[in-house]
Amino acid sequence: MSAVVLESTLTCPRCEHARSETMPSDACQFFYECEACKELLRPLPGDCCVFCSYGSVKCPPVQAQSSCCG
Ligand SMILES: [Zn+2]
């Protein structure tokens, strides 16, 4: 068993501002607003949440290898 990481650093694809965020352990976050440029980030095609697309660590359900959002 491996520990699930709940801290992920989200990097904005527009302005490259990075911010460390704590992920919910049992849910996905679909939208994330960059605090620097106010860009509303959404997951890339094939990804279930913004952490999988832009974060340094994938979301907890993916880390646990369970299906996340279907
Ligand atoms: Zn930004």
Model confidence pLDDT, tens digit, residues 13-66: 999 999 999 998 877 899 999 999 999 999 999 999 999 999 999 999 888 876
Residue 17 Cα to ligand 1 middle (Å): 5
Contact of 61 with 47, CB cutoff 8 Å:
no
Residue 2 Cα to ligand 1 middle (Å): 32
Residue 26 Cα to ligand 1 middle (Å): 26
Handedness of CA 36, 6, 56, 13 (dihedral sign): negative
HSE-up of 25 (CA within 13 Å, CB side)? Answer: 4
Q: What is the pLDDT of residue 28?
A: 82
Residue 38 Cα to ligand 1 middle (Å): 6
Contact of 54 with 11, CB cutoff 8 Å:
yes
Q: What is the pLDDT of residue 68?
A: 56
Q: Give φ, ψ of 4 to 5 degrees.
A: -90, 130
Q: What is the pLDDT of residue 1?
A: 58
